[in-house]
Amino acid sequence: MDDSSTQAPTPSPHTPRAVSSLAEDGFSSEELPQDYADAQRMQDEAREMCGRHGSQATRLYLAALSFNKHNIDAWYGLLHCYEQHGMHEEAVRTRQTMREIFGEDVFDMEEIFSDYGDVEYLDVSGDAPRVTYYSQKGTEEDILREVHGLSRRLRSTVSGRSLTVYALTGADRSGYLLTVPLEEFPEDFRAFQREVTVTAVE
């Protein structure tokens, strides 16, 4: 007897693996990422267009998050985009969702730095935030990529026109001193390379 009519339907290839309820509303299956590379592409596009096209960027971030709701960098990008475009209610809801997913300490400085290195000095209370930390990276480009990611997270918790970061790479306190613009933060890494000031400290 053929019982094929009672078998469960084959999942659609467009069904995301880790759909976030935040990202489901208003999306067609064709708009959602098919795999990790697709989700990363959407996140990269959102990062590049956030300053100019806020609504399109937030939609891309949400689509990327539908694939993996634990993508903390995409959450920080989404939050910043909401804040940058004055979407305060959405920003508040996003912060709450991040706390539900990652825990109450998601915006705690030690938690933010846990992926990057040990903090030696941290002052983010005023208009000229400064950070000194021990990096595991060695080359200037690796440091730039690391500080780009770190700055993207920190900008949601600090104020000021720029962030000063001293990334220590050697026991002799050698490393790189970087000044990162915060008001017009360059989301794209290549733009970040052009805008940030880097000084090698011997």
Whether 175 maps to a domain, the answer reads yes
Q: Which of 96, 106, 162 is nearest to 131 (CA)?
A: 162
Q: Which of 63, 61, 67 is nearest to 81 (CA)?
A: 61
Residue 11 has a pLDDT of: 32
CA distance linking residue 172 with residue 202, whole number of Å: 8
pLDDT of residue 25 exceeding 60: no
What is the band of 179 on the pLDDT scale with cuts at 50, 70, 90? very high
Residue 182 and residue 134 share a domain: yes
Which is more confident, 9 or 174? 174
What is the band of 17 on the pLDDT scale with cuts at 50, 70, 90? very low
Which residue in this structure is represented by tokens 């956030």?
A: 50
Cα distance between the two ends of the chain:
79
What is the band of 144 on the pLDDT scale with cuts at 50, 70, 90? very high
Residue 193 and residue 135 share a domain: yes
Residue 1 has a pLDDT of: 46
Residue 195 and residue 113 share a domain: yes
Express as a percent the part of the chain with pLDDT over 90: 24
> Mean pLDDT throughout 60-71?
88
Count of the separate structural domains present in the chain: 2
What is the band of 26 on the pLDDT scale with cuts at 50, 70, 90? low
> Mean pLDDT throughout 160-165?
88
161 three-class SS: coil
Residue 114 and residue 94 share a domain: no
CA distance linking residue 11 with residue 131, whole number of Å: 48
Residue 7 has a pLDDT of: 40
Q: Looking at residue 123, which CATH number applies to its domain?
A: 3.10.310
pLDDT of residue 90 exceeding 70: yes
The bridge status of strand 130-135 relative to strand 117-123 is antiparallel
Which is more confident, 196 or 122? 196
Residue 26 and residue 90 share a domain: yes
CB 153 within 8 A of CB 112: yes
Residue 91 and residue 68 share a domain: yes
What is the band of 12 on the pLDDT scale with cuts at 50, 70, 90? very low
Q: The domain containing residue 95 runs over which residues?
A: 21-106
Among 90, 106, 122, where does a domain finish?
106
CA distance linking residue 40 with residue 92, whole number of Å: 25
Residue 196 and residue 112 share a domain: yes
Which residue in this structure is represented by tokens 């067609």?
A: 28
Among 65, 86, 106, where does a domain finish?
106
Residue 78 and residue 67 share a domain: yes
Whether 46 maps to a domain, the answer reads yes
Whether 7 maps to a domain, the answer reads no
